[in-house]
Amino acid sequence: MSRLLGILGRVEGLPVGVVLALLYVAFMIFAPTVFTSYRIYMSFFQTVPPMLVLAIGLTFVITAGEIDLSFPAVVALSGFVFTWCFETFGVAWPGVLLALAAGALVGWVNGFLVAMLRVPSIMVTLAAQFFWYGVTILAAGGLQIDIASVLSSPVHGIFVGRLFEVFPVQALWSLGLVVLFWFILNRHRFGQAIMFIGDNAEVARVMGIGVETTRIRLFTLNGALAAFAGLILTLELNVFYPTQGQGMLLPVMAAVFIGGTSIAGGQGALVGTFFGMYIIGSLEAGVVATGIGGYWVQLVEGLVMAASVILNIVIGDSGLSALSSTARRWAVGRR
């Protein structure tokens, strides 16, 4: 028993995964018509991926002991860059590359200011959020742009098409990125450097880690990921609107923290982020489907979020070890 608990305690993201599973079981019991049908899950696979991609980048940034508040602006900027390129030249691939480059550039500037000029990342990225959002609105003239013709482009099929005419491809992209970045965070020097910096930047420097270079790369990576999120959001809706991404800041941050990434840095949990994002992304729809109406929705959402975080702490890595020790003592006492 205690060995089993010990093993479970080392499974990354397990408590949040359990919460997600319990949540879906509850939704299946209270809203069986909705949650035993595949359509609602396809809807989640359609709308959660942009936020999940954002959450991957933010998990890295928070693990490094930094914060990035500018990603909503990058979502809008990259969506505009792609749309402008597609509308102006009628080609999609250069638009994809330019959009990603624009996001990476914003991230690089953020990283440079944080790493080289030692400006706190919260200030740099807050200013960047206002600045790049303003740039996007100015460049777009505040207009929504309909790009229905992108539906016939291969880019649309590759990034947000439907497998077997049902399954949203963006869900596979986001899952693939989670796997890739899990290996980078846990098995690659770059990931190790991020964790060391998040734990103690000065010690990391003494160990020979290029703290400044790593921070610049980190923010650049986050900018590029945010741009990719903006891209799939724009392609999915076939329309660019200047406010896109602006409502994603809090849900994405909530998913990262629910997932178990330490707010103090030094520890990142991408699997937890993955489950956390699906909790956040499906919560309101689930509550609505159960028939809990009116203003109760927000209250129930808050309760589930709080329960997720508490469960993560109570039966998380260290919590499960303590539970395992208690179980061992109890077993010894019985003998």
Can you give the binding site for other proteins, defined by CB under 8 A?
Answer: 31, 33-34, 37, 39-40, 42-44, 46-47, 50, 137, 140-146, 148, 233, 236-239, 241-248, 250-251, 281-282, 284-286, 288-289, 291, 293-295, 297-298
In the complex, minimum distance from the CB of residue 172 to other proteins, in angstroms, rounded to a whole number: 17
Q: CB of 121 within 8 A of CB of 114? A: yes
CB-nearer residue toward other proteins: 293 or 333: 293
Instruction: Compute the distance between CA of residue 262 and CA of residue 269 in angstroms, rounded to an integer.
Output: 8
Q: Residue 157: which of 96, 81, 223 has the closest Cα?
A: 96
Pick the closer one to other proteins by CB: 114 or 233: 233
Distance CA 127, CA 69 (A): 9
Minimum CB separation from other proteins for residue 5, in Å?
Answer: 35
Q: Provide the minimum distance between the beta carbon of 315 and other proteins in the complex, in angstroms, as a whole number.
A: 28
- Cβ closer to other proteins: 49 or 259? 49
* Nearer to other proteins among residue 79 and residue 103 (C-beta): 79
DSSP state of 68: -
Closest distance of CB 298 from other proteins, Å: 6
* DSSP secondary structure, 250-317, as one string: HHHHHHHHHTT--TTSS---HHHHHHHHHHHHHHHHHHHHTT--TTHHHHHHHHHHHHHHHHHHHHSH
CA 144 to the chain's CA centroid: 25
Beta-sheet strands, E only, within the chain: 145-146, 162-163, 167-168, 239-240
Q: Which is nearer to other proteins, 200 or 238 (CB)?
A: 238
CB 4 to other proteins: min, Å: 36
Residue closer to other proteins (CB basis): 77 or 315:
77
d(CA 260, CA 248): 19
Shortest Å, Cβ 38 to other proteins: 10
Q: Which is nearer to other proteins, 141 or 333 (CB)?
A: 141
Euclidean distance between CA atoms 259 and 15, whole angstroms: 9
CB of 247 to other proteins, least distance (A): 3
Q: What is the DSSP letter of 239?
A: E
